[in-house]
Amino acid sequence: MNVAFGNPKGDPKAIDWERVRKQCLNIPDEFGELAIALGADAALIKAAVTQLKWVASKVVSDVNVKQVRDGLSDIHVFAYGAHHIMGVDADQDMDAVVEGVMTRFIKDPDDKVATIALHEAKGVTEVYFEGDYPTMVMKSLRDQPDAPKGKFLKSASYTDTVFREI
Sorting pLDDT into bands at 50, 70 and 90, what band is 66?
A: very high
Domain coordinates of the chain in residue numbers? 17-87, 96-166
CA distance 113 to 133: 13
Whether pLDDT at 72 is above 90: yes
Question: Residue 25: CB partners within 8 Å, gap ≥ 6?
Answer: 53, 56, 57
User: CA 155 to CA 118: how far, in whole Å?
Assistant: 8
CA-to-CA distance for 163 and 92, rounded, in angstroms? Answer: 8
pLDDT confidence bin for 48, thresholds 50/70/90: very high
The predicted structure's pLDDT at residue 159: 96
Give the rounded percent of residues in the chain with a pLDDT score beyond 70. 100
**What is the model's pTM?**
0.82
Amino acid making up residue 144 = Q
pLDDT digits (tens, 9 = 90+) for 86-112: 999 999 999 999 999 999 999 999 999
Gap between the Cα atoms of 27 and 33, Å rounded? 10
pLDDT digits (tens, 9 = 90+) for 18-46: 999 999 999 999 999 999 999 999 999 99
Neighbouring C-beta atoms of residue 138, cutoff 10 Å: 26
